[in-house]
Structure 1
Amino acid sequence: MSNFWQSIGEKISGFVMWALEHHPGKFIGTVSGFALGLLMVTLGFWRTVVLVFFVILGFIIGKRQDDHQDIMTWLEKTINK
């Protein structure tokens, strides 16, 4: 039975890699839409909006950190606008 699940896992990972190589926008959009819809159903609209806001904020702060840009300077400029 272990070989069966290993085979299934290999097929799924192969499909994911193929989809990311040939249709990245469609694949990422579909997965994002599914996750967002699942969150809407389980958490509700406003909780999902707050969660998405914090995910986007975390992404922006993390990207600036990865790009070796000063986060505090950016926050000050953004808040003082």
Structure 2
Amino acid sequence: MFWQFILENRGKAFGLAAGFIFGLLFLWVGFLKTIVFAVFVATGFYIGRKFDNEEDVGEVLDRILPGKFTKR
């Protein structure tokens, strides 16, 4: 029954787990450190998605730090 709920409601289950983890982080380390952690997780997800879609990560990094990742 538990696994059936998880499989039928993946988004809700993921959101519940993520909210629980970030809630615990907030209690243990504080608000600012939790926000910094969330930014790192989101950045890692974004770059990982670029790799999965076989997109050029250099273009993304070049937008962030112009001229540092391109050969001229």
TM-score, normalised by the number of residues in structure 1: 0.70
The sequence identity of aligned pairs, in percent, is 33
1:62 aligns with 2:44: no
Equivalence for 1:75: 61
- Stretches of structure 1 that go unaligned for 5 or more consecutive residues are 1-13
Structure with more contact order per residue of length (Cα contacts < 8 Å, sep ≥ 6) = 2
- Stretches of structure 2 that go unaligned for 5 or more consecutive residues are 67-72
Q: Hey, which bits of structure 1, 4+ residues long, moved more than 6 A?
A: none
Kindly name which structure, 1 or 2, has the bigger radius of gyration based on alpha carbons: 1
TM-score, normalised by the number of residues in structure 2: 0.77
Number of aligned positions between the proteins: 66
Equivalence for 2:15: 29
- Higher helix share goes to which structure? 1
